[in-house]
Amino acid sequence: MLKVLLLFLLLIAGIVLGPLIAGHQGYVLIQTDNYNIETSVTGLVIIAILTMVVLFAIEWILRRIFRTGAHTRGWFVGRKRRRARKQTEQALLKLAEGDYQQVEKLMSKNADHAEQPVVNYLLAAEAAQQRGDEARANQHLERASELASNDQIPVEITRVRIQLARNENHAARHGVDRLLEITPRHPEVLRLAEQAYIRTGAWGSLLDIIPSMAKANVGDDEHRDELQRQAWIGLMDQARADLGSDGLKTWWKNQSRKTRQQVPLQVAMAEHLIECDDHDTAQEIILDGLKRQYDDRLVMVIPRLKTNNPEQMEKMLRQQIKTVGDRPLLWSTLGQSLMKHGEWQEASLAFRAALKQRPDAFDYAWLADTLDKQHKPEEAAAMRRDGLLLTLQNNGQ
């Protein structure tokens, strides 16, 4: 507008001043090597004004041309974006259908023009992996990595997920180790770390992330407790495999008191020692656990013990019966222990006390064995019959 206004002002000035200086036009000479241009001052002014008009006209035409080009480019870009958005929506529907070939095709096509191109390429990579096309999956991952620039966490998470799908477990573990350094409480990183550590037997690392899993609400308490138990058992297996029974006992002594007082770990440790034929140490662990607190899980390990001092365990069982009450598991376990060194009368009394509280096919069978040893065949036959009827009844339910 300013240029147009200036042009009109010049024209008005020419109209007003032209007649005034018509009789005094003056003389202008422009001389070059080859040309001499002669004109009046009025003519020069008119030429200048016309030149400006021509320049303004050329500028206007060029601006219109370039503006049209920009609009055209914008239309094409907008068209590609609309197409990418539509293809992304279609890909999500195909993902729900499980058609991974179409998911990859639709997600990767025009992905550069999508609202979130990194997401498109990552989903395309996972879809390609689902189809077993590792080359295409790698290609999409690399493109996503290029576009993600500084925010590589989504790319690396997808990479680890794909590595786990390929059973590249050690590569996945390396990936989650790096991710945990960057984002130690990311829920998906913790879930992937759980898988990678279990597959590679990295039990110490698994124990390290369980507190972070609790803070990030990854899994419930029961799941995390089971993970912790699995990790401790894995460490026990490693200690036993490396150094045998002595190494296992040394490893156990090196653990904190809080760890050694956990009942699931006491049970697992006793079972490992029994497998190493170290029954005496296993008995010590069970006795120590029962002295601190009663737990059925500890009692259930006792029948597997073959120690040189069963009287100590039998004394503990009788003490537990007096302390925690008349429990069938305690009586049954006591009866099994008494059978091992031929105390048939005492064993039969223990099994009768257990059966008095609840029927059990195994207790009927053990009681029958003790009655046979006491030369009571008819009563033994009756116990076996009752045990058989109970078994048939339970199987029929």
Residue 392 within a domain: yes
Residue 69 within a domain: no
Total structural domains in the chain?
1
Residue 384 within a domain: yes
d(CA 363, CA 333): 10
- Distance separating the N- and C-terminal Cα atoms of the chain: 96
d(CA 279, CA 270): 8
Residue 40 within a domain: no
| One-letter amino acid for residue 346 of the chain | E
d(CA 5, CA 277): 107
- 31 - beta bridge partners? 36
DSSP character for 39? E
Integer CA distances (angstroms), 174 to 163, 179, 235, in order: 11, 9, 20
d(CA 192, CA 161): 7
d(CA 214, CA 75): 51
pTM: 0.70
- 30 - beta bridge partners? 37
Could you give phi then psi for residue 220, rounded to 5 degrees?
-95, 180
Residue 367 within a domain: yes
Q: From 92, 155, 104, select the one nearest 128 (Cα to Cα).
A: 104
Q: Is 288 helix (H, G, I), strand (E, B) or coil?
A: helix
Residue 280 within a domain: no
**Angle 111-113-116 from CA coordinates, rounded to 5°:** 70
HSE at residue 87, side-chain half, CA atoms within 13 A, is 26
| Residue numbers in the chain where pLDDT is lower than 70 | 1-31, 33, 37-45, 66-81, 84, 396-397
Question: Is the CB of residue 336 less than 8 Å from the CB of residue 327?
Answer: no
Q: What is the pLDDT of residues 57-84, one digit of tens each?
A: 787 777 777 665 555 555 444 566 677 6
Question: Is the CB of residue 227 less than 8 Å from the CB of residue 210?
Answer: yes
> Which residues does 166 contact at the CB level (< 8 Å), separation at least 6?
129, 134
Task: Determine how many CB atoms are found less than 10 A away from the CB of residue 166.
Answer: 13
Residue 17 within a domain: no
Give the residue numbers spanning the domain of 356.
Answer: 332-397
Residue 189 within a domain: no
Domain at 388, CATH number: 1.25.40
Which own/partner contact pairs does 242-245 have at CB distance under 8 Å and 24+ positions apart?
244/276, 245/273, 245/276, 245/277, 245/278, 245/281
Longest Cα–Cα distance of the chain, Å, equals: 158
In this predicted structure, what is the pLDDT of residue 76?
47
- 28 - beta bridge partners? 39
Locate 241 and state its tokens: 């495999």
d(CA 112, CA 146): 11
